[in-house]
Structure 1
Amino acid sequence: MRAVVQRVSQASVTVDGDIVGKIEAGFLILLGVAADDSQQDVIWLAAKVAGLRVFEDDDDKMNLDLKDIGGAALVVSQFTLLGDCRKGRRPSFIAAARPELANRLYQSFVAELRGLGVPVEAGTFQADMDVALVNDGPVTLMLDSRKQF
């Protein structure tokens, strides 16, 4: 499971002209699910994201997490994070999970974050979405549940 985590001062996702998710300070999380991902990946990644200390404290040090700042997460499914661009000019998406598994684990990730006390908004799975954000910092991190071991 891969995630691009962007620290934002605001973010939103729009589907067919309607805002389906919107947050102020927190994380915009672009989430890609691999074909061999499981609930173990969901649990690890959600805990990692919820505990990331990348918000400044009173001494301007990255020392605070989402809960410390009263922040939220906007989670957007993005299978293209599993694209393999090593050969040719067109990415291969063979490593990406089929939609049924991807949606189940995407929804599970959202639920796991909420269970950790993080307010979560979400995009619409398999929809054509417009994502808007104000990247704060900028701070952008890439996480991969398979690189934890």
Structure 2
Amino acid sequence: MKKAKKHVLDITDPGNWENIDMRMRDLLVEKGHTIRLPTDYQFRNDTIRRHFSHAFYTRVMDNKEKQDRRWLVYSKSLDKAFCFCCKLFRHDQKSIQLGTTGHDDWRNLSKRLKKHEKSNDHIICMTRWTELEVRLKKAQTIDKYAEEEIRK
């Protein structure tokens, strides 16, 4: 009798983050945002031969300083860009395209990213992400306190 092959879910791909509970969110934040594909990776072309690019990961400031968009993640399975923190921490399930369905309009992604990173919703999600990262590093999450209360 042949054993059925197990399908392994790629947790690094935001296209696989359907129902994110607290445990999953904590794991993703603890592990760090998803692993970026190698610089020589060939992204899929759309119908007019446009595609995601590693250049989107870098924000060029007005003073020409470069800043890493560590929050920007690419889904290989969906061929879409997502905002890591908005995907994990948004409070409104219908808002923030980069946090829900993803974005694949490569022609307009630069403009969309600039608008997104200045939005109030994104800033709130970034703050929540940063705060959770700090708490997880210090092992001061709500789960830890709940476990301590159960042991008492």
TM range (shorter): under 0.3
Larger Rg: 2
TM-score, normalisation: structure 1? 0.25
State the structure with bigger RCO (CA 8 A, min sep 6), 1 or 2.
1
TM-score, normalisation: structure 2? 0.24
If each structure's strand is expressed as a fraction of its own residues, which one has the higher value? 1
